[in-house]
Structure 1
Amino acid sequence: MNLKELEAKFELKELVDIFSTLSDTKSVHEQTLLFTENSLIEVYMDGKKTFDLHGRKEIEDAFTAFLAPFKHVYHQGGQQIITELTDTTAKGTSYCLVALVSEENGKKTVAKHGVTYFDEFVKIDGKWYFEKRISNFVWTTEEVQEINDNQL
């Protein structure tokens, strides 16, 4: 592997990590700028396609509505494998543990999701973007806890 390939892999890993970090801070507009203007997101849960999002506007609207009810959002990124790489395109797979925390009626609900992302990237004017992202929610667990005064 040469220096150019290493640099591209580093930039792609950073793109994936920035996506997660912006999600955690609910910085949705900035997050959508990581996608091409006409990008596509496909979401699968338990192996079944649940919806598609086409283009930045649709992505931003959907992400904003989805994240709104959660008090905390947390992504812990794992391994990433780049399976194809050219000067301007790439494909890869990455893994993530996503925790979504909501609070209602004195109870805290923590939903944890094991997510595998299948990404297609494109490099435009020297910068990498998501062109297509398949989000596969492989497993989910949920726990509900009573909130006591020490947790506030």
Structure 2
Amino acid sequence: MTLDMLTAKNELRDLIDAYASLGDEKKIADVMGLFTPDATYTVYINGTMVASTSGTKTLEEEFSGHAAQVNAYFTLNGQHTVHVDSDTATGVSFTQIKMIRPSEGADILTDYSVRYDDEYVRLNGRWLIKERTGHFIIVEARPLTN
């Protein structure tokens, strides 16, 4: 493995970690800076497509609407496998996401086990997400007990 390949893999890991961290902080405009302007984002829950969005303008509207309904996020990234081919790459990453939402006077904790299938491009020396498909494999919701 070359130094360029190791550098690209490290930069791509930083990209998905930035996506998680900025999302947790609800810095949606900053999250949009991680995507190409024409990016697509598709979501599957239990194998059924539930959403598909294109373009950062629409993505920002949808992400902002979702974030407005959430009191807190906590995201933990796991393994991340990438295949780099010059200025493009594909990757698979695994993530645990916890969300706390208010519902009927109670806080509801939802746990998501997610596999992301990504396509990346390097533009002007910077890696961006071109296409992200989230497979929400396990979804569990329960009242939060402190």
Q: TM-score, normalization: structure 2?
A: 0.96
The root-mean-square deviation of aligned C-alpha atoms, in Å, is 1.1
Deviations along 1:37-69, one digit per CA (max 9) or x if unpaired, are 101111101101111110000100000001111
Q: Whose Rg is larger?
A: 1
Partner residue, 1:124: 123
- Say how many residue pairs are matched: 146
Query: What SS does the aligned partner of 1:112 have?
Result: strand
Amino acid paired to 1:24: D
Amino acid paired to 1:128: W
Write out the 4+ residue segments of structure 1 that deviate beyond 4 Å after TM superposition: none
Partner residue, 1:51: 51
Q: Offset at 1:104?
A: 4.2
Fraction of identical pairs, as percent: 27
Partner residue, 2:24: 24
Deviations along 1:16-51, one digit per CA (max 9) or x if unpaired, are 000000100000011011100101111101101111
Query: What SS does the aligned partner of 1:66 have?
Result: helix
Query: What SS does the aligned partner of 2:22 have?
Result: helix
Partner residue, 1:81: 81
Please give the alpha-carbon distance, in whole angstroms, between the structure 1 residues aligned to 2:36 and 2:144. Answer: 40
- The gaps in structure 2 that reach 5 residues or longer are none
Deviations along 1:56-113, one digit per CA (max 9) or x if unpaired, are 001000000011111111111101001x212200001000000000234442210000
Please give the alpha-carbon distance, in whole angstroms, between the structure 2 residues aligned to 1:51 and 1:86. Answer: 29
- The gaps in structure 1 that reach 5 residues or longer are none
Please give the alpha-carbon distance, in whole angstroms, between the structure 1 residues aligned to 2:43 and 2:104. Answer: 30
Matches within 5 A, 1:56-67: 56-67=56-67
